[in-house]
Structure 1
C-alpha cells in the first residue's frame, strides 16, 4: 500500500500541502466536508490526492499509529463530499498499487474530468508553465518555440498521456515536442546548459539585448550539428515520496546518419511547484496566455 505525505483540499488547480496533523487541521478547519461517519459508525477524515485528484482517507490524525509516527493518506475508492472517485485517474496515479511500463505514445482511451482539467490548466496557465521551464532549463522560450510546443501538445493529445498530471504540465509541454536546433537558442549565462555549450568549439555566443543575462547560441565557423529534446520520463515512489524525473538531451547526427548523445541533464519534477505557482502567481504574461488560447481550442 502506498502512503501519501501530501494532500490537497480540492480537486483542480489548488495548492499542495505537506501532510502533518497541524497542517491538516489548520487547512480543513475541521469542516464537515472533510469527514464522514460510515455504516460501521467509524469517523473517517478525507482530502484529495495531489497526483490524481481522487479522494484519499487520512490515517493517523487522531489516533497514534503503530507503524509510523506521521499521518498519511491512502486512496479511498468511494465518492466523498470533496471529490468523486475516478477509476481511470486512479489506475495511473503514482500512488496506486498498479505499476506500468509507460511510453510517450501510450494514451488513455476515455477523457474524464481529470484529463479535461489537465488540458484546461495547460491552456489557462501556459505562461506559468513556461516560467518554470525557463527557470530550470536556462532557456528563454520565444514566441516561435511557444507556438511549437502548444501545437504539438494539442496534436499529440498530451493531456491523455498515461502519466500526465496537473503538476507535471510544464515538462509535458516540451516532452511532447519534437527536437529543435540549438542554433538560435537563447540561454541564460551561468546555467548548466551554458556551461556545457561554452566549451564547444563549434559554438559562439552573441549578446541578447532583450533579456538581461541571456545570450544567443550561434555557430562558430562550422555548421552547428546539435539539437535538444526532453526524453526518459520516469517516476517511482521511494519512501512514500513520488520521485519523477525527466532528461534534457543534446544530440548530433554522425556521418552514418545515427544519433550521438552529446549532453544529458536530469531534472526532478515535484508535486508542489506548479500547482502552488498557479494558486499564487507573482506575475502573469498575457501574451503567452493569449497565445495558448488561440492555439488550444476549448474542450
Structure 2
C-alpha cells in the first residue's frame, strides 16, 4: 500500500514516501524497532488499523523495488495489535486488483453501500480527480456513458474498489470513450496535433478542444488499463490512460497511438478530501436540517 497512519490518528491516511514517513515518525520507537538484530519500520493501516511494515527502506535494505507498506501479521509493541478479522475485510490488502472483477460477499453490504453513496454524493469530486490526472475535461455525454458502464457492471460491488481509489477505479471500470468535443490539457493537445491524422486540438478562449479535421471520419478514444501489472511484486499501484485514433473501417487492433500516461494512485488524497466534505455536509445538516 502507498499510505500509512500514525498512532494518534490511525484512521487518517498519509501518502507514503520515505521523506514523509521519516518526518512523521521522527525515525524513533515505537515506529522503528530492532527485531532479532534487524531494524524494522512500522506504521498502521488506516483502513483496518492493523500494523504495517515498510518494505525497501533504503537505510536498512537493499534497494530492489519501490518503497511501500504491507500488513504485518503480528502484534507490534507500542504501535498496534493484529486483528485477523479486520485484515480479511481491509480495503488496502493486495489480494485484489481492478482486473480481477471479484465481487464483495453479501456480508460486506455496508462497504458496497459506502462506495455507491460516495460516488453519488461526491461525483463532481470524483470527476475532478480523474480530469486533473488524465488531462481531459469530459463533456456530459462521456460522463453519462461512464456512469452507465459502471452501473451495468455494478462496479460498486467489486472488492478492489474503495474510498481510497474511487476516482481511478470508477474510470478503470468503464469501456473506451470517444473524446471528440472534450477539452484537453496542453500536454495532450501537443500529442494530438503532432500525431493525429484526423483530429486537431484547437484553443477557444481558455480551453483547448478536440476537433475533427475536415473530411475525417476517424474516431478518437480514451481507455484505461494496467492496474494488475502495476501491483506485481509490490510495485507502486497505478493505472495507465491511453488515447488512440481509429481510422474509418479499421479495427481497434490497428488503432494509432497518440498519448499515454501512467497515473500513480494516491490512496490518501481523495479519501481525505471526501471525508472532509462529508464532515462539513453532516455539520450543515445537524444545524440547518
* Alignment TM-score, normalising by the size of structure 1: 0.63
CA contact (8 A) 2:118 2:163 kept: yes
1:216 CA displacement: 3.5
The aligned counterpart of 2:14 is 16
CA distance in 1, matches of 2:68, 2:201: 52
CA contact (8 A) 2:177 2:223 kept: yes
Q: Which runs of 5+ in 1 are unaligned?
A: 31-45, 61-65, 282-299
Pick from 214, 225, 229 the counterpart of residue 223 of structure 2.
229
CA distance in 2, matches of 1:77, 1:123: 38
CA contact (8 A) 1:230 1:249 kept: no
Secondary structure of the equivalent of 2:149? helix
CA, structure 1 residues 143+217, in 2 after alignment: closer, same or farther (shift >3 Å)? same
1:133-282 to 2 correspondences below 5 Å? 133-188=130-185, 190-191=186-187, 193-199=188-194, 200-209=196-205, 212-234=206-228, 235-236=230-231, 242-252=236-246, 255=249, 257-263=251-257, 264-270=259-265, 271-279=267-275
* Alignment TM-score, normalising by the size of structure 2: 0.64
CA distance in 1, matches of 2:107, 2:264: 24
The aligned counterpart of 2:48 is 54
The aligned counterpart of 1:110 is 106
Runs of 4+ off more than 6 Å = 70-73, 77-84
- Higher helix fraction (1 or 2): 2
Number of aligned residue pairs: give it.
245
Secondary structure of the equivalent of 1:201? coil
- 2:120 matches 1:123: yes
Q: Which runs of 5+ in 2 are unaligned?
A: 31-41, 62-66, 278-289
CA distance in 2, matches of 1:179, 1:5: 27
CA distance in 2, matches of 1:83, 1:120: 27
CA, structure 1 residues 101+253, in 2 after alignment: closer, same or farther (shift >3 Å)? farther
Deviations 1:76-107 (A, max 9, x none): 589979997152446x722xxx5x68635433
Deviations 1:219-242 (A, max 9, x none): 33211233222223223266x664
CA contact (8 A) 2:131 2:137 kept: yes
- Compute the RMSD of aligned alpha carbons: 4.3
